[in-house]
């Protein structure tokens, strides 16, 4: 179970540079999610064998200087509430500013590890100047230069040391279905409708994180944990529609689940925030079901549903093989269809295909449609196999893997989906040297 590290601080101290440095350090990175702004705010990285998620709060602040203060306070409060450790970044060039002092005041009251990173320390004069940051009362500081990476090793060593131990990995767990979506889309009502209608519940287990509640649920002879991200205690100070708030909450739920039920409000459409959550789930290689709630409020004509669905699929490209269920929690319309679909997606995600069967089906397709020649060289694919990972990943062995381009990978992925039914599940295809 990976920990979350938040990078906080006022604008322009180099948070994003540091963030990008972390995210690009290793090949093992799962990728970052584009927020509504074009910055990337969320990603995974690892250091000394520990994986953790990093959130750059900077990219979420929008507005002019005067709006900044309030926004930054909000984000720092959220980061404090949600993250396992906090990196507070300041800038040696400008020295301590009143805004830094504000943030430090918030952070001094926290009983989570806080690491003061003094950025832009790239010569000995600046190293001397960094001493003044002791006066923020946050203890030791780490002089770093996020542009060239100096000093970041020491900071990361200390950071990883302070993260809580991974506890959850060993337990054999029930499948986890997370209900995510933007505030007021009907997540709580959906869970209440499921739970209220029939008493199949076994227990309510408070999640390992203090924010999500797992409800053990049994339906269609299939037992699973329902993770409710909506029943999270809300801070009145946090604006409901704050992008960051939803993403931060969803990050946790999505990382630790098998299938994401993304609840969206039919009257608002597949908007930026829902798309964020969708891509977050997709990049984390989770099963996905889209639940269009409040369908009873939409004025319908003959093709309304079809057109609405097409519109959503257009926004999801290229990963369009995702089940979409139109439902209404209020009238209980299709709420069990939603769960049934999630169970199917879970089964698709854990499907294992025999190597002999895979080759029997895929090699003739590849023979009929080989990869296009590149610089007069022909790629010959000899053999394929499914990798032993929790989600579907396939390796195709060939003579010149470097010449297989993305369009062909997508073609192979689509064929795998069609032949073996991987609806709702991201499929990874790799080409390797034989």
Range 381-385 contact pairs with CB under 8 angstroms and sequence separation of 24 or more: 381/431, 382/434, 383/359, 383/434, 384/355, 384/358, 384/359, 385/355, 385/358
Structure pTM? Answer: 0.64
Distance, in Å, from the CA atom of 367 to the CA atom of 284, rounded to the nearest integer, reads 32
On the question of pLDDT at 272 being above 80, the answer is no
Q: pLDDT tens digits, residue range 37-53? A: 333 466 778 888 888 88
Q: Which residues contact 131 (CB under 8 A, 6 or more apart)?
A: none
Distance, in Å, from the CA atom of 393 to the CA atom of 219, rounded to the nearest integer, reads 29
On the question of pLDDT at 197 being above 80, the answer is no
Structure tokens at 5: 């590290």
Q: What pLDDT does 193 receive? A: 81
Distance from the first to the final alpha carbon of the chain: 34
Q: Concatenate the DSSP letters of all residues of 129-160 into one string.
A: HGGGGGGGSS--EEE-BTTTTBTHHHHHHHHH
On the question of pLDDT at 208 being above 50, the answer is no
pLDDT above 70: percentage of residues in the chain: 79
Q: Concatenate the DSSP letters of all residues of 164-207 into one string.
A: PPP-GGGS----EEEEE-STTSSHHHHHHHHHHH------EEE-
pLDDT above 90: percentage of residues in the chain: 16
**Which pLDDT band holds residue 220 (cuts at 50, 70, 90)?**
low
**Which pLDDT band holds residue 249 (cuts at 50, 70, 90)?**
low
**Which pLDDT band holds residue 287 (cuts at 50, 70, 90)?**
very high
CB atoms near residue 182 (< 10 Å) = 24
């Amino acid at each position: 179970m990976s920990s979350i590290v938040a990078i906080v601080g006022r604008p322009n101290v180099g948070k994003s540079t540091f963030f990008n440095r972390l995210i690009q350090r290793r090949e093992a990175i799962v990728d970052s999610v584009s927020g509504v702004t074009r910055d990337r705010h969320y990603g995974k990285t690892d250091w000394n064998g520990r994986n953790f998620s990093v959130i750059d709060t900077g990219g979420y602040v929008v507005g002019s200087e005067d709006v900044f203060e309030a926004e930054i306070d909000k984000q720092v409060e959220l980061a404090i509430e949600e993250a396992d450790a906090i990196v507070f970044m300041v800038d040696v060039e400008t020295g301590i500013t009143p805004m830094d002092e504000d943030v430090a005041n918030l952070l001094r009251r926290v009983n989570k590890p806080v690491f003061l990173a003094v950025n832009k320390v790239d010569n000995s004069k600046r190293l001397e100047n960094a001493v003044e940051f002791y006066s923020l009362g946050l203890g030791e500081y780490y002089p770093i230069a996020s542009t060239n990476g100096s000093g970041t090793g020491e900071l990361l060593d200390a950071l990883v040391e302070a993260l809580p131990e991974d506890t959850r990995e060993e337990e054999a767990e029930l499948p986890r279905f997370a209900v995510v979506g933007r505030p007021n889309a009907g997540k709580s009502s959906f869970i209440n409708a499921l739970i209220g209608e029939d008493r199949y519940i076994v227990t309510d287990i408070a999640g390992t994180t203090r924010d999500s509640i797992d409800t053990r649920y049994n339906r269609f002879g299939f037992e699973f944990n329902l993770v409710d991200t909506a029943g999270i205690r809300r801070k009145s100070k946090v604006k409901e529609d704050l992008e960051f708030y939803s993403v931060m909450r969803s990050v946790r739920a999505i990382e630790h689940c098998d299938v994401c039920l993304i609840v969206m409000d039919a009257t608002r459409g597949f908007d930026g925030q829902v798309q964020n959550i969708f891509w977050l789930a997709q990049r984390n290689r989770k099963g996905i079901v889209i639940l269009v709630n409040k369908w009873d409020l939409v004025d319908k004509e003959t093709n309304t549903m079809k057109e609405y669905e097409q519109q959503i699929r257009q926004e999801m490209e290229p990963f369009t093989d995702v089940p979409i269920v139109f439902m209404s929690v209020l009238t209980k319309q299709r709420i069990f269809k939603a769960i049934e679909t999630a169970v199917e997606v879970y089964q698709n995600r854990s499907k294992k295909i025999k190597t002999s069967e895979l080759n029997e089906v895929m090699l003739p397709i590849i023979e009929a449609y080989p990869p296009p020649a590149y610089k007069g060289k022909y790629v010959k694919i000899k053999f394929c196999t499914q990798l032993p990972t929790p989600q579907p990943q396939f390796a195709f062995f060939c003579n010149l893997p470097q010449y297989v381009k993305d369009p062909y990978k997508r073609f192979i992925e689509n064929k795998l989906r069609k032949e073996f039914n991987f609806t709702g599940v991201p499929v990874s295809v790799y080409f390797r040297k034989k």
